[in-house]
């Protein structure tokens, strides 16, 4: 029994992939062994041709003889047991609102010398601040939560290979594929779905049926229903956060402006005022709002949902591993090849340790 080995020299030219299905393309277009790349001696001449045709000498054939196929189930058990399900801590899903942006419109009407007094200019500044920012608190809070959800939670309710569960499943699938390749090359027949490993919390990869998605959606709905009010309650506990307190960031300016001619034909001038620095107040308010978001204990509820899902996932993984090992044991027991101890290579035995 032999197998293809591909080194890092592969330049992804694709030539060898046209010659055999024992090599396949990875995400970068490079060749990788399919199902371990194992083949029997009657394919050796063709395999040597394929190896010789690789212009950068990235391909080789590993030799071996004499391992016992009946040990495959035990080795499979050990290989699958080595894969660890990553821990998820409270910190992993903690809300750090400062990491996310809040956007408000840019203030209008600054530097217009339209006001007859400093206090009128400052009132207008406060109104503008309220219009573009202070009254928009719901929009600003939800903007942060959308980013938080995308950044910290999306992977938990994404069920393809890019998601949290899919990435772990992929590790199990890779091991199963390798063992399936070794078993098949040794003459052991396995069911077609032996290589599949699709375990998800709640038992379903369908977003609509997923218990985890349901739980996270409940949390997000709760937040949308009352979360903004919770944040505003926290904000009120932070000193100097009423609307007028932000006047401290804003400023005014004054100048003499032409006001027509007097009864005696002389030019008339009067003092006029404008407002400025409204955006400074907006930035200050958005900083306070982010602090208030951090104070709401929302993320620990999210963590509890994910932790429950993780426990469920681990139990299902153990059951699936037991199922796969039992399948392989049964297939080995049914195989004449296993009884005859008929030759999985040492290289494969090493690979499957």
Please say which residue, 50 or 309, places its beta carbon nearer to ligand SF4: 50
Nearer to ligand SF4, 12 or 339 (CB): 12
Q: Which stretch binds ligand SF4 (CB under 6 A): 10-18, 62-70, 126-134, 209-217?
A: 10-18
Compare residues 40 and 60 and give the one whose CB is closer to ligand SF4: 60
Smallest distance, ligand SF4 to C-beta of residue 40, A: 21
Q: How far is the CB of 58 from ligand SF4 (least distance, A)?
A: 4
Q: Does 15 bind ligand SF4 (CB under 6 A)?
A: yes
Q: Does 124 bind ligand SF4 (CB under 6 A)?
A: no
**Is 10 a residue that touches ligand SF4 (CB under 6 A)?**
yes
Does 14 contact ligand SF4 by CB under 6 A?
Answer: yes
- Taking a C-beta distance cutoff of 8 angstroms, is the pair 259, 63 a contact? no
Q: Which stretch binds ligand SF4 (CB under 6 A): 11-19, 119-127, 196-204, 301-309?
A: 11-19
Q: How far is the CB of 173 from ligand SF4 (least distance, A)?
A: 23
Tell me which residues in 243-282 interact with ligand SF4 (CB under 6 A): none
* Total residues found in the chain within this entry: 353
The terminus-to-terminus CA distance of the chain in angstroms comes to 17
Tokens coding 131: 């219009």
Whole-angstrom distance, CA of residue 205 vs CA of residue 215: 15
The tokens for 47 are 């395999």
Nearest 5°: CA angle at 309, between 306 and 311?
110
Contact flag: residue 62 with ligand SF4 (CB under 6 A): no
**108: three-class secondary structure by DSSP:** coil
Tell me which of 1, 22, 47, 58 binds ligand SF4, using CB under 6 A.
58
**Cα atoms in the Cβ-side hemisphere of radius 13 Å centred on 266:** 3
Stretch that binds ligand SF4, among 3-11, 144-152, 230-238, 262-270 (CB under 6 A): 3-11
Closest to 212 (Cα-Cα) out of 198, 201, 199: 201
Q: State the CB neighbour count (10 A cutoff) for residue 254.
A: 14
Residue with Cβ nearer ligand SF4 (16 or 278): 16
The answer to whether 276 touches 214, Cβ cutoff 8 Å, is: no
SS3 258: strand
Q: What's the closest the beta carbon of residue 195 comes to ligand SF4, in angstroms?
A: 23
How far apart are the C-alpha atoms of 17 and 23, rounded to whole Å?
6
Cβ atoms 88, 201 nearer than 8 A:
no
The answer to whether the CB of 169 falls within 8 A of the CB of 197 is: yes
Cβ proximity to ligand SF4: between 6 and 352 the closer is 6
d(CA 118, CA 239): 26
In terms of CB distance, is 14 or 66 closer to ligand SF4?
14
Among 56, 248, 255, 322, binds ligand SF4 (CB under 6 A): 56
d(CA 141, CA 296): 12
3-state secondary structure 31-44: EEEHHHHEECHHHH
If one asks whether residue 60 binds ligand SF4 (CB under 6 A), the answer comes out as no
Give the largest Cα separation in the chain, rounded: 124
CB 30, min distance to ligand SF4, A? 6
Size of the site for ligand SF4 (CB under 6 A): 14
Min. distance of Cβ 9 from ligand SF4 in angstroms? Answer: 7
Find all residues with CB under 8 Å of 76, minimum gap 6, and list them. 175, 176, 179, 324, 325, 328, 352
Among positions 16-55, residues that touch ligand SF4 (CB under 6 A) are 16, 30-31, 54
Residue 24 Cβ, how far from ligand SF4 at the closest point, in Å? 10
CB of 43 to ligand SF4, least distance (A): 16
Name the one range near ligand SF4 by CB under 6 A: 4-12, 32-40, 109-117, 227-235.
Answer: 4-12
Residue ranges in contact with ligand SF4 by CB under 6 A:
6, 10-16, 30-31, 54, 56, 58-59
């Amino acid at each position: 029994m032999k197998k293809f080995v591909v080194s890092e020299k592969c330049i992804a030219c694709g030539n060898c992939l046209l010659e055999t299905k024992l090599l396949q393309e990875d995400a970068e277009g490079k060749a990788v062994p399919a199902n371990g790349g194992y083949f029997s001696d009657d394919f050796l001449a063709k395999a040597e041709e394929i190896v010789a045709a690789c212009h950068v000498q990235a391909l080789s054939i590993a030799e071996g003889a004499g391992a016992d196929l009946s040990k495959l189930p035990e080795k499979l058990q050990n290989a699958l047991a080595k894969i660890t399900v990553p821990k998820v801590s409270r910190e992993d899903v903690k809300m750090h609102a400062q990491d996310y942006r809040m956007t408000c419109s840019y203030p209008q009407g600054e530097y217009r010398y339209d006001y007859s007094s400093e206090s009128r200019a400052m009132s207008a500044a406060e109104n503008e601040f309220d219009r573009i920012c202070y009254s928009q608190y719901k929009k600003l809070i939800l903007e942060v939560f959308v980013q938080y959800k995308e950044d910290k939670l999306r992977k938990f309710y994404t069920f393809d290979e890019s998601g949290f569960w899919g990435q772990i499943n992929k590790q199990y699938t890779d091991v199963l594929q390798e063992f399936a390749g070794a078993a098949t090359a040794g003459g052991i027949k396995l069911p077609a779905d032996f290589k599949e490993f699709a375990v998800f919390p709640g038992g379903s990869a369908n977003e609509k049926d997923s218990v985890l998605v349901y739980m996270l959606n409940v949390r997000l709905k709760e937040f949308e229903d009352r979360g903004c009010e919770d944040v505003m309650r926290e904000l009120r506990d932070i000193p100097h956060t009423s609307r007028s307190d932000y006047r401290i960031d804003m400023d005014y300016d004054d100048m003499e402006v032409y006001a027509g001619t007097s009864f005696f034909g002389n030019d008339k001038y009067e003092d006029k005022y404008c407002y400025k620095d409204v955006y400074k107040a907006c930035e200050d308010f958005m900083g306070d709002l982010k602090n208030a978001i951090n104070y709401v204990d929302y993320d620990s509820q999210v963590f509890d949902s994910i932790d429950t899902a993780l426990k469920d996932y681990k139990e299902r993984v153990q059951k699936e591993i037991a199922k796969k090992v039992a399948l392989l044991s049964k297939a080995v027991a049914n195989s004449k090849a296993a009884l005859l101890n008929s030759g999985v290579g040492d290289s494969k035995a090493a690979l499957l340790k």
